[in-house]
Amino acid sequence: MAAGTVTLYGAAKENIAKALIDLDTDSFVVALLGSGYTPSVNSDDTWSDISANEISGTGYTAGGAALAGVTVTRSGGTVTFDANDVSWTSSTITAKYAVIAKKAGASLAGTDLLLAYVELETGSTVSTTNGTLAITWNASGIFTLS
């Protein structure tokens, strides 16, 4: 499925400016959240703010999946953050949001910083039953800073 509009958390913008998040060298994960989560772009800033809404199910590992193939490019005054698409195969899960977070240690921890979120399907959840839940990022990149 194509990812919807990716929204950066307010704290993420500040953390990028303060070099607490390095888009080029940090490790990132994509975690799935259920319909109980209501994004708060101006107050959610760490994994502990949202972790209670992480889904569980067959084929999904708590803490999400590593975001691989991360690239940061610049064209003129626009910086683009991109990575490989993400999928959970042979999964039986239901999710509403995908959240990208900086992972500082071996596993996602409460103090890890949030970067961005996307509603997977506007107004509803997505489900798989022994299938693949795939997130296809926009061909122009996950998000841009300009």
pLDDT tens digits, residue range 111-145?
A: 999 999 999 998 899 999 999 999 999 999 999 99
pLDDT range class, residue 2, cuts 50, 70, 90: low
pLDDT given at position 1: 64
- Burial category of 143 from C-beta neighbours within 10 Å (exposed 0-12, middle 13-18, buried 19 and up): buried
Q: What count of residues does the chain have?
A: 146
Residue whose structure tokens are 């989560």: 37
Where do the domains of the chain lie?
Answer: 6-138
Evaluate if residue 39 carries a pLDDT over 80. Answer: yes
pLDDT range class, residue 3, cuts 50, 70, 90: confident
pLDDT tens digits, residue range 41-90?
A: 999 999 999 999 999 999 999 999 999 999 999 999 999 999 999 999 99
What integer is the mean pLDDT of 17-22?
Answer: 97
pLDDT given at position 4: 83
Candidates 101, 118, 105; CA nearest to 23 is 101
Is there a contact between 98 and 118 (Cβ–Cβ < 8 Å)? yes
What integer is the mean pLDDT of 26-30?
Answer: 98
pLDDT given at position 71: 98
Torsion of CA 85, 90, 91, 97, to 10 degrees: 10
